[in-house]
Chain A
Amino acid sequence: MSHYLFILVGAVLVNNVVLVKILGLCPFMGVSKKLETAYGMGAATTFVLTMATGASYIIDHYLLMPFGLEYLRTLSFIVTIAAIVQLTEMVIAKTSPTLQQTLGIYLPLITTNCAVLGVPLLNISNGYNFVESLLFGAGSAVGFSLVLILFAGIRERVEGAEVPTHFRGAAIAMVTAGLMALAFMGFAGLDKYQ
């Protein structure tokens, strides 16, 4: 049981998809200007990522592997993810038009979010089973949302700070992200207490 917990916590904190693996930086920088959009993006990505890990596991194990078509993995995963993202967008457009507008272009861009493709591929290279895959996917997604929301909170405050003119905007955001990544390095020590 604790094995599953380790996968989950490890994915959220220790091997954080954004700050440690440096995946999915596009939405991390793009939608972190406001806290509300960060919440929305976090929720959407969590949903897509969890679904994508599950779906890709099924496709890999019951469609590609029996026929020896592993070389089609990347292609078929991308197609699946694209379909899930489209579905999510439709649902969001129907249920929350505001969220759809605030997320703007970043919502369809989840398709090309490397975290969403990277996590299913990592699952396979790690040899996870279905439950482990789902946990790893969900954990990565929560980790992504967590740092996105933290980062958005910091950026909102940085807006009001006296940042030297040339550092305003993206530059200070990069510095902030770097400092956050350093802080997340501290979680690497968690596995000492296994």
Chain B
Amino acid sequence: MDILLAIAIMALGAVVLGAALGFAAIKFKVEGDPLVEKIEAILPQTQCGQCGFPGCKPYAEAIVNGEEINKCPPGGAEGVQRLADLLGREVKPLDAEEKPKQIAIIDENTCIGCTLCIQACPVDAIVGAAKQMHTIVAQQCTGCELCLPPCPVECIHMEVIPETIDNWKWKYPVIEIKAAA
């Protein structure tokens, strides 16, 4: 008898709470997933696909669904750190080698004007027309390297962005260590 009463009371409680939660689920419904946008804001938007996903947004969505956060080489160790901070996950070393920022340069003497790189560029940073020489708009180039493989004559190479007065940064002050006497 007791056990039936206990079951009845617990069942009653479960029904009441379940009803309350069900009501709340409808009342406080959230559309979309704002987390994806937050993650995307951290990703460097090179759209390079080095993470194995076709662009930064798909990777952001994959991260929300449990993908590792260390698969974005352009974001670097700092990007991993910021993702870890946002998501409360462990910081992991980058899955690939970190490279300095680069841009693609077309060797204009070798270019045959095949437009393949233009089609490959995810950010439309290559200008040119069929059988005309192509060139890369340096300001728009994200350094994703996606234009390298399609080029039939291998006229595209990557170059590290040089340091100029405009992008020069003050160095972290070095603390001098005095030799012990």
Contacts and interface: CB of A to CB of B under 8 A. Distances in A.
B9 A63 contact: yes
A83 B17 contact: yes
B178 to A, nearest CB: 16
Nearest to A92: B28
Given A90-B28, A104-B87, A105-B88, A76 B10 contact: yes
Given A67-B9, A72-B6, A83 B20 contact: yes
A106 B13 CA distance: 25
A90 B29 CA distance: 8
A4 to B, nearest CB: 30
B86 A101 contact: yes
B9 A69 contact: yes
Contacts of B87: 101, 104
Interface string B10-42: 100110010011001101111000110010000
A34 B29 CA distance: 28
Nearest to B175: A162
Interface string A113-130: 000000000000000000
B13 A79 contact: yes
Given A94-B30, A97-B30, A101-B35, A63 B13 contact: yes
A80 interface: yes
Q: Is the interface of A mostly helix, strand, loop or mixed?
A: helix
A96 B160 CA distance: 42
B5 interface: yes
Interface in A19-56: 30, 34
A96 B38 CA distance: 14
Contact of A69 (B6, B20, B27, B85): B6
Contact of B21 (A67, A68, A86, A101): A86
B63 to A, nearest CB: 12
B28 A91 contact: yes
B125 to A, nearest CB: 33
B36 to A, nearest CB: 11
B28 A72 contact: no
Contacts of B24: 86-87, 90-91
Contacts of B88: 30, 102, 104-106
A57 to B, nearest CB: 15
A42 B6 CA distance: 35
Contacts of B34: 97, 101
Given A63-B13, A101-B86, A94 B21 contact: no
23 contacts: A34-B85, A67-B5, A68-B2, A69-B9, A75-B10, A76-B9, A80-B13, A83-B20, A83-B21, A86-B21, A86-B24, A87-B21, A87-B24, A90-B21, A90-B28, A93-B28, A94-B28, A94-B29, A94-B30, A97-B30, A101-B86, A102-B86, A106-B88
Interface of B: 2, 5-6, 9-10, 13-14, 17, 20-21, 24-25, 27-30, 34-35, 38, 85-88
Q: Give the top 4 A-B pairs by smallest Cβ distance, nearest first.
A: A104-B88, A94-B28, A83-B17, A90-B28
Given A104-B88, A106-B88, 20 more contacts: A63-B9, A64-B9, A72-B9, A72-B10, A76-B10, A79-B14, A79-B17, A83-B17, A87-B24, A90-B24, A90-B27, A90-B28, A91-B24, A91-B28, A93-B28, A94-B29, A97-B35, A101-B34, A104-B87, A105-B88
